[in-house]
Amino acid sequence: MKQILFYILSFIVILAIMTFLVAKFQYGGLEPQALADSTEVVDSVEVTVDSTAIKMQLAEETIQKQLRLIDSLKALARKYENEKETLSRKLEQTQASIAQQTNLEFEKRTKEMARIYENMTPQEAAAIISNLNDDVAISVISKMKKRKAAKILEALDPVQAVRLSELMAQANP
């Protein structure tokens, strides 16, 4: 498209010069030196047109190279975005797996603790459970046999027994 416009513009310039020369020649105002000067002007315009055409062609080639580079960079960006999404999904899966494994280990340990505390007297177990984190205490008590858990809750400080009972009720509606 640019080349067509360039050639049309060149044609118009040459046509204008030729029209000027014909008009001068028809009215007798054209002298041999003026004709030679006009020929030099036409030659100069042709050289300028050729030079401009070469520059435009080089510019077009540069633009095409840059467009290819942009396309390749876009493809590379899409590739990295896909890799990022894949790694993000793998990370989420790994985190979920770790959380599940941690939860299973916590459940296993609290079940073992429940068995140990069931073999203690209610007062001894209550003394230890009263110093545990509420989440751990709830988990341990909820894994005990109901009668043993009731005796341990009875041996706890009444305020702590109420708090743990409320938390257990909220955890298991």
The model's pTM: 0.49
In this predicted model, what pLDDT tens digit does every residue of 18-54 receive, in sequence order?
776 666 665 555 455 555 555 665 566 666 766 777 7
pLDDT band, very low/low/confident/very high, at 112 (cuts 50, 70, 90): very high
Are 72 and 152 in a shared domain?
no
Q: Are residues 9 and 88 in the same domain?
A: yes
* C-alpha–C-alpha distance, residues 12 and 4, integer Å: 12
Look-up: residue for tokens 């296993």?
Answer: 108
Q: Is 114 a member of any domain?
A: no
Q: Which residue, among 161, 148, 158, 160, has the nearest Cα to 122 in the 3D structure?
A: 148
Q: Is residue 23 part of a domain?
A: yes
Residues 93 and 127 occupy one common structural domain: no
Q: How confident is the model at residue 119 (pLDDT cuts 50, 70, 90)?
A: very high
Mark which of 66, 97, 128 sits at the end of a domain. 97
**Do 149 and 67 lie in a common domain?**
no
95 CB contacts (<8 Å, ≥6 apart)? none
* Residue, of 22 and 106, whose pLDDT is higher: 106
Token duo for residue 64: 């095409």
Distance CA 101, CA 69 (A): 47
How many separate domains does the chain show? 2
The predicted pLDDT at position 83 comes to 92
Average pLDDT over residues 140-161: 93
Which structural domain, as residue segments, surrounds residue 24? 1-97
pLDDT in tens, 2-20: 677 677 777 777 777 777 6
Q: Is 133 helix (H, G, I), strand (E, B) or coil?
A: coil
Is 10 in the same domain as 60? yes
Per the rule left: phi > 0, alpha: psi between -120 and 50, beta: everything else, 28 is left
